[in-house]
Amino acid sequence: MRLSIRKISAYAGCFLVLTGMWGVFLFPSDELIRYAQCGLSQMAPDATLSIGRLGLSLSPGLVMENFAVSLQNKSEIQADQIRVLPKLVPLFQDRKKHPLSARLVLAELRLELPLPVISSFQFKQIQADIGWQGEKLDITSFTAEGIQMDGSLSGEIQMKTPFEKSRLQIAGVVHLKPEVLARLKASFPGAGISNQKTDGSGQNIFWPFQITGTLEAPLFSLK
């Protein structure tokens, strides 16, 4: 019995080693990166994408490292790591009839926007559960833990052609950190920040918000 267990363990070990070698040496990372870059350029011609490494993650899925997207309007998104963990059951089904769903985990995300006062945002981690069926992208949950703010949202994006015409219907809440509030109050003295709400203790301040419009011209409003 011990010999059989040893053989099984040896076979299992060899299988894992061979699988790991396939993932490291045979995974078509360069081809997939070029495919992603080509797809993004078709959807958004003014955007550029760079990925330092793309490979398999230990949990069934993909991992991207040193990810960056930049736009001509000087906006930029950078992430040290992005993990895409798809639900395997619906992968081989027709997307028009059955939604594709996955969990995205982003680590150390940095966002640069052409905004006054606060133009740079940093997030330690963002986790999102999304579903894609037909021309609709559902964001069932989205939570962000950041340096300047924390937040959560949900909603949908109705995909259109061209991509920048895709319509947004998103709602959520944002919690600004004390130092960010201080900077805003210093930049707009006497104006105040409207629509703020608090929890039962009065200590946790948050702002409900809504995003509509299109990717090209999003409309942001506080509830």
Among 91-95, 137-141, 216-220, the range scoring the smallest mean pLDDT is 91-95
More confident residue, 222 or 25: 222
pLDDT at 10: 52
Residue 130 near residue 156, CB atoms below 8 Å: no
The model's confidence at residue 39, banded by pLDDT at 50, 70 and 90, is: confident
| pLDDT exceeds 70 at position 7 | no
Q: What is the mean pLDDT of residues 142-166?
A: 90
More confidently predicted of 187 and 139: 139
Residue 17 pLDDT exceeds 60: no
For residue 201, the model assigns a pLDDT of 64
Q: Write phi, then psi, for 147 (nearest 5 degrees).
A: -75, -45
Q: Please provide the average confidence, as pLDDT, over all residues in the chain.
A: 79
Mean pLDDT on 128-134? 89
At residue 91, the pLDDT reads 47
pLDDT cut 70: percent of the chain above it: 76
Contacts with 169 (C-beta within 8 Å, 6 or more apart), sequence order: 155, 156, 157, 158, 211, 212
The CA angle 100-172-119, to the nearest 5 degrees, is 100
Query: If you average pLDDT over residues 145-152, what whole number do you get?
Result: 93
pLDDT in tens, 99-109: 788 999 999 99
Q: How far apart are CA 175 and CA 193, in angstroms?
A: 13
- The alpha carbon dihedral of 120, 198, 105, 165 has a sign of negative
By the 10 Å C-beta count (0-12 exposed, 13-18 middle, 19+ buried), 172 is classed as buried
Residue 94, pLDDT score: 57
* Share of residues in the chain with pLDDT > 90 (%): 30
DSSP 204: -
Measured CA to CA, the distance from residue 15 to residue 38 in angstroms comes to 35
Does residue 127 have a pLDDT over 80? yes
pLDDT tens sequence across 164-206: 789 999 999 999 888 888 887 787 676 556 677 877 665 677 8
